[in-house]
Amino acid sequence: MPSASHLPFHTLNTSIQPPPATGTTFTLSPDASSPTDIWRKPGPPPVKTFNAPIIYKSLKLQSFQRARVTISAEWSKLYDQGGLVFILPAAGVEPTDQKWVKTGIEFYQGKPYVSTVAADAWADWSLVSAPIHEGGVTLELERKEKDDTLWIYVIDGQTKVPIREVTWVLSEPDPEVCWIGVYAARPTIGGPDDETKPLNVKFEGWELEVAE
């Protein structure tokens, strides 16, 4: 499959400059003064948040084949997170109401897990205890051509460990475009550990494959 290294990177919810189109390593640091997240739930009260910094590429939904990256950071605060994000930016839809999938590391109950959230009308949330070495893990999103679903894998050495299937996101008739990239978020601000260092999430080995 050809890579998407010719497609430019864009940024969202951040003032940093986009990396070069061929870039494979970058860092995102969420705002340390206010909560950031990509999250939606009915409540009460309902919560709709879409303010985490994102670096992404825009491409036709049907051309997406695979994305992979290694995520690492010094996770310390509840819900600290960063990883891959897949967004369907429908025209006329508020950012907080867009459909999306995110998967990455999330810090919960004092340890890092691999977290996956898929948001259609509302979001769900799942955690997997996976091999996270020195605060890092490699994750992959892949289109399964047989039934056109999105599979999420933890890459452990030469082994691809399947952790989640999202059945609907690649079958959406609108929009025709998707954004695929990386994000970082710190939903928890304040508390007894205010001296915690800023969250700097590093992404390495970025790969994005598309159909010709």
Q: How far apart are CA 115 and CA 130, in angstroms?
A: 10
Q: What is the pTM of this model?
A: 0.96
Cβ contact 23:9 at 8 Å: yes
Phi, psi values for residue 63, rounded to 5°: -90, -15
Q: Residue 57: pLDDT band by 50, 70, 90 thresholds?
A: very high
Q: Is residue 194 pLDDT above 60, yes or no?
A: no
DSSP reduced 3-state for 15: coil
pLDDT in tens, 84-137: 999 999 989 999 999 999 999 999 999 999 999 999 999 999 999 998 988 899
pLDDT at 212 > cutoff 80: no
On the CB side of 33, CA atoms within 13 Å amount to: 0
In this predicted structure, what is the pLDDT of residue 134?
87
The predicted structure's pLDDT at residue 173: 78
Asked if residue 3 belongs to a domain, the reply is no
Would you say residue 84 lies in a domain?
yes
pLDDT at 193 over 80: no
CATH code: domain of residue 134: 2.60.120.200
Task: Evaluate whether residue 2 is within a structural domain.
Answer: no
**DSSP classification of residue 133:** B
Determine the Cα–Cα distance for residues 98 and 5; give it in Å rounded to an integer. 26
Could you give the CA distance from residue 185 to residue 119 in angstroms, rounded to a whole number? 17
Is 80 exceeded by the pLDDT of residue 196? no
27 falls within a domain: yes
Q: Say whether pLDDT at 184 is over 60.
A: yes
Domain housing 141: 9-210
User: What contacts 199, CB < 8 A, 6 or more positions away?
Assistant: 29, 30, 32, 73, 74, 75, 76, 77, 80, 82, 184, 186
Domains: count for the chain: 1
Question: What is d(CA 111, CA 132) in angstroms, rounded to the nearest whole number?
Answer: 10
Q: Note whether residue 1 is domain-resident.
A: no
pLDDT at 192: 62
pLDDT at 74: 95
